[in-house]
A and B are shown apart, each in its own frame.
Chain A
Amino acid sequence: MPVSVDQTSVDPSRNESAPANTSASADTAAQAPAGKKDEALRPHAEDAFAAELAALAAQDDRPRPARWRMSPWAVATYLLGGTLPDGTVITPKYVGPRRIVEVAVTTLATDRALLLLGVPGTAKTWVSEHLAAAVSGDSTLLVQGTAGTPEEAIRYGWNYAQLLAHGPSRDALVPSPVMRAMSEGMTARVEELTRIPADVQDTLITILSEKTLPIPELGQEVQAVRGFNLIATANDRDRGVNDLSSALRRRFNTVVLPLPESADAEVDIVSRRVDQMGRSLDLPTAPDGIDEIRRVVTVFRELRDGVTADGRTKLKSPSGTLSTAEAISVVTNGLALAAHFGDGVLRPSDVAAGILGAVVRDPAADRVIWQEYLEAVVRERDGWKDFYRACREVSA
């Protein structure tokens, strides 16, 4: 009897799962929050793209795995975008190699779990949400992994009032999202798997290999029905936090989500996001900012890839991730500097300090790498004189 379980850690899960527990059918559960849907800051994928999902499901004549809302092929189309025979346009949710989406969807169609790896800002969570929405029509069976995630979040907890009043029974049990997904044949999601403590991670092993979840307190078990699967996301750079044991890793097919392939695509992503963020922070838009954005993206890409854009010169890569997300924050920062302390135009000096901060994470090794880059690449490049000078100023 897990009576000694920390009360506070159980509380949230009980509150959260209470409506689902009482509602008999999925329909009523879906209707309950319907009124608030429009006001939600960010609607779930299955709500935001309900029309597309319906159109895809309606016109999908390929074989579907058990309990899937549509065929794997249609799921891939949902993520990558396309035009249906009747002219419905499916917007692309993920811009990247087709191969990745195909492997991910195919993995879900086998009984292997899917592990999405990638540096921060590569749309891991986004892809996992949309996969779950397309496959199961529900992306909310979610476990948020943190250093404090307890076993109950993955297995089950107890409703203590029930437990004390009526003794241990299925009614007193508070199922976790994973347990619900198992019994209903849905897709469960685990965010930031590597942040979960190793002993809690191990709970997943039996679930993924035996597809059962024993409840020793009741002498019962929950067996996963067909259609159950699990998508986990984890951060490449956090491997050291709680590395997956090889036993657990073996249960996953791993898909690494890459950083944007071409510089143009990345510039596009950065400028679009910067624009959105700038508006919400009431920053003035910089007219000539695009050149500076391109420069930031170029610097980031070159250092990240360890080779110059023309492919001629190799470089050392610093220890930071230099993801697209960081490029976005450097530019936003630069815009704020330009708006409040400069002449409103994004200048090399506005981004130089930000870049330095993003690149030099380890003061000794990274600084040498950065200076080598400055001297070997930036100094010689046409039209980069200002930038070189600005960087020299902040690096000195």
Chain B
Amino acid sequence: MSGFLPEAAAPESTHVADSRGGHSDGPLLLGVRHHGPGSARAVRAALQAARPRVVLVEGPPEADALIALAADEGMQPPVALLAHVVDQPGRSAFWPLAEFSPEWVAIRWALEHDVPARFIDLPATHTLVWGREDEAPDASATPSGPEDAAQAPGESSPDEALRIDPLAVLAETAGYDDPERWWEDVIEHRGVQDGEAFGPFAVLAEAMGALREAYGSGGHDRDLVREAYMRLQVRTAQREFGDDVAVVCGAWHVPALRRKATVAADRALLRGLPKAKVAMTWVPWTHRRLSRISGYGAGIDSPGWYGHLFSAPDRPIERWMTKVAGLLRDEDRIISSAHVIEAVRLADTLAAMRGRPLPGLTETTDAVRAVMCEGSDVPLTLVHDRLVVGDVLGEVPASAPAVPLQRDLARLQRRLRLKPEALERELELDLRKENDAERSRLLHRLRLLGIEWGAPAESRGSTGTFREAWRLRWEPELAVRVAEAGVWGTTVLAAATAKAEADAVAARALADVTALAERCLLAELPDALPVVMRILADRAALDADVGHLAQALPALVRSLRYGDVRGTGTHALAEVAVGLAERVFVGLPPACAALDAEAAEEMRGHVDAVHGAVGLLGEVATAAVPAGEADGARAAGTRSGIRARWHSVLRTLATRDTIPGVIRGRAVRLLLDDGELAQDEAARLMGLVLSPGTAPGDAAAWIEGFVGGGSGGGMLLVHDERLLGLVDAWLTGVPADAFTDVLPLLRRTFSAYEPGVRRTLGELVRRGPGVRGNAAPTSAPPGFDPELDTERADAVLPVLHLLLGLDEPTATDDNDLVGVS
């Protein structure tokens, strides 16, 4: 790892020519592993030694004009070259470059030495439309080996299994089970010795040559076309600069570029390729996206580690351990210098034991775990996240061409006739109109991306679900925001989806995720929804606070209903909502026990909210399930069961003594309203609570829960005189000193009633219990017959049926009628 730069720049050219191993008659071919720090060093040393007059780099030639930007001060790797089809920004490919990418090193070297640099790969004009035929957008997406991994935009092509991984074959031959490790040992960890700057390339080229002889294109058929194009480009460069040409490309291609092929044959291969108009630009990239985990899969899983290997001047392991120690110290773990020493020693010994020339990432990680993390994986995750992957964000100078997201937005604005204006204006949307619905979606998506062009406003005219009001104002900073949002994707839809997914992963509170789910529905991001739902389910599973769950449930059920209105698929949402409800059911009874007055009041709010949500959920969920499906039918069964289970939870709440009165009262009332509890039973429970054994305060709280608030409890008392009688009897029996305690509660309960109800109640009470006691069945307001005139009452029924759209009277109607009598 040491002494490779200035020393390797051997001035005597004869020596250089010799070490090129007999290839001095052709261009200097430097086969590399994309994103390999060792390759990058070797490339630099080789360029320094050979001093070519032109540097050719594997990459889309459309980007030639952008190469100069690499020297710009505002350019900080990791960055990526982005190619996209002009009128279809969604069709794009990335070529990510990190500081330690050999290609980047080669470009920078060329710029520093005033040597022209060119990209020689098949133009993106062709490769981007190539994919259209079989949905493998970039032909260069070779299998998992480091070969060409830089160019894989993330999708693994279906025929991957048929292709061979050249490195795996080499590694297997060398007795390694992991190709990455073999490459690290043989190439990356090998220092460049003095005077043999080309040694590694020659050896590797030979090995690859043998492989290509055995396997041909190895299933990478498109490589043949690309290589033909590259050969033509190299030939052009040779005509111009003689043999002072250096080519930096994936090691796999080296034998093909060396092969003698006729110009005519190469041209023939290139004939008839599809074409599209393509635009290119630089976009900022992140280490996280370089890493394999993030799905963009540029091909390496430890960019931070590679960056360290590349930038550390010497003693990489010692420096790495010091970095790890620093990170852990910042997180308040006690790590002494002795820890660092021991970790380095363990890593070295482990490497020796495993027969590796230098400790690799595996050894260092093992050592860090055993010495600094006490064997635990928790701090290790931190090390992996912050250092091994790393949070490096690249920068791109402002002079880089516009990102496709900007174009996509401009296109949408034109199509939806929604001009960006600096002047604030109001916009009323009618979501039933296709154009308006799309405008609404665009604005919601932009908000998700942090581009606050429109802010939701209160609708003036109507309050229907189909109306939406916005306040629009385009500020100049928003252009910057759009550029920033460019990292998320190339179209507004894709970017908003990616952003929503990332937000969901980062969200801490359950309510945040629920809100996000609602916004995803509004913005219609069907692809983001599953991710958000999964995270929602996870958060819900781990959240131990029933209050949080109960808060999240109504919003979720609301979005479920709203999604229905818009015709979005909400099956997954319903699933999660049901799961959430189940968790609430299990957790609610224990959570309600032993609460003080304030907490009890809050919990009562939760109970009410859950009750409303469960009611809606039962409805919506059964409606959302397509009939006839066996699975659907089962799900429907589950969901209709949800109400039954909620009722049993309410019953538990109503009867358990440790639960505060206000919640118990509420539970009884909810059951009574749903017809789950006979009125006799409710009266019995009320009698129990209002019997002298109960503390007056608790009883008053129960009454508040039962008939308090704006829940129409007053009417209940007006119509059920037995209940009123119980309250009355209890109230008159409250001892004088306790009365002052319960008075505020009672006042709060009864003062919320409508004046009419209050008056009626007062009149009923004034008439006294005696009258009511005897005449309860026959009592009637003056001027009315004590009994119902059934004949006349029946006359109303046809009209009622017409109004309610019913065919015949249902059981609940009967109940109500009985209640009224």
Binding site for B on A (CB under 8 A): 72-73, 76, 99, 102-103, 105-107, 109-110, 112, 115, 117, 246, 249-250, 253-256, 306, 312-316, 364-365, 367-368, 371-372, 375-376, 380
Contacts and interface: CB of A to CB of B under 8 A. Distances in A.
Given A110-B349, A372-B541, 20 more contacts: A76-B353, A102-B350, A103-B370, A105-B353, A106-B346, A109-B349, A115-B375, A250-B336, A250-B338, A253-B370, A256-B375, A313-B537, A314-B538, A314-B542, A316-B541, A316-B544, A367-B590, A375-B586, A376-B541, A376-B579
A312 B537 CA distance: 9
Contacts of B670: none
B353 A106 contact: yes
B779 interface: no
23 contacts: A76-B353, A102-B353, A102-B354, A103-B367, A103-B370, A109-B349, A109-B353, A112-B342, A117-B375, A250-B336, A253-B342, A254-B370, A254-B373, A256-B375, A313-B537, A314-B537, A314-B542, A368-B587, A372-B587, A375-B582, A375-B585, A376-B579, A376-B582
B222 to A, nearest CB: 35
Given A102-B350, A314-B537, A316-B541, A253 B586 contact: no
Contacts of A250: 336, 338-339
Interface in B355-408: 362, 366-367, 369-371, 373-377
Q: Which 5 A-B pairs have the closest CB atoms?
A: A254-B375, A256-B375, A314-B541, A253-B370, A314-B538
A306 B541 CA distance: 9
A168 B349 CA distance: 43
B353 A72 contact: yes
A316 B353 contact: no
A389 B19 CA distance: 78
A302 to B, nearest CB: 12
Interface string B573-606: 0000001001101110010000000000000000
Nearest to A104: B370
A254 B541 contact: no
Contact of A255 (B342, B350, B370): B370
Contacts of B537: 313-314
B345 interface: yes
Contacts of B293: none
A106 B349 contact: yes
A112 B347 CA distance: 13
B375 A255 contact: yes
A111 B150 CA distance: 43
User: In the complex, which range does the number of interface residues on chain B fall in?
Assistant: 35 or more
Interface string B547-589: 0000000000000000000000000000000010011011100
Nearest to A71: B353
B800 interface: no
A109 B583 CA distance: 52
Given A110-B345, A253-B371, A73 B353 contact: yes
Nearest to A315: B541
A250 B367 CA distance: 13
Nearest to B534: A312
B350 A246 contact: no
Nearest to A244: B374
B269 interface: no
B236 to A, nearest CB: 51
B538 A249 contact: no
Contact of A371 (B338, B367, B376, B586): B586
A106 to B, nearest CB: 5
B334 interface: yes
A100 to B, nearest CB: 9
A82 to B, nearest CB: 14
Given A103-B370, A254-B370, A368 B590 contact: yes
A371 B334 CA distance: 40
A246 B336 CA distance: 11
A375 B336 CA distance: 48
A287 B334 CA distance: 54
B636 to A, nearest CB: 14
Contacts of A112: 342, 345-346, 371
A248 to B, nearest CB: 12
Nearest to B543: A316
A71 to B, nearest CB: 9
A313 B540 CA distance: 10
Contact of A364 (B367, B374, B583, B590): B590
Contact of B370 (A107, A306, A315, A372): A107
B432 to A, nearest CB: 37
Contacts of A249: 374
Given A313-B541, A375-B582, A246 B346 contact: no
A314 to B, nearest CB: 4
A365 B591 CA distance: 11
B307 to A, nearest CB: 25
A50 B42 CA distance: 51
Contact of A253 (B346, B354, B541, B579): B346
Contacts of B336: 250
Contacts of A380: 638
Contacts of A110: 342, 345-346, 349
Of B338, B353, B375, B542, the most chain A CB neighbours within 10 A belong to: B375
Contacts of B346: 103, 106-107, 110, 112, 253
A48 to B, nearest CB: 26
Contacts of B354: 102
Contacts of B342: 110, 112, 253
A99 B366 contact: yes
Nearest to A246: B334
Contacts of A117: 374-375
A388 to B, nearest CB: 13
A368 B546 CA distance: 11
A126 to B, nearest CB: 17
Given A117-B375, A255-B375, A368 B349 contact: no
Of A103, A250, A306, the most chain B CB neighbours within 10 A belong to: A103
A377 to B, nearest CB: 10
A80 to B, nearest CB: 13
A115 to B, nearest CB: 8
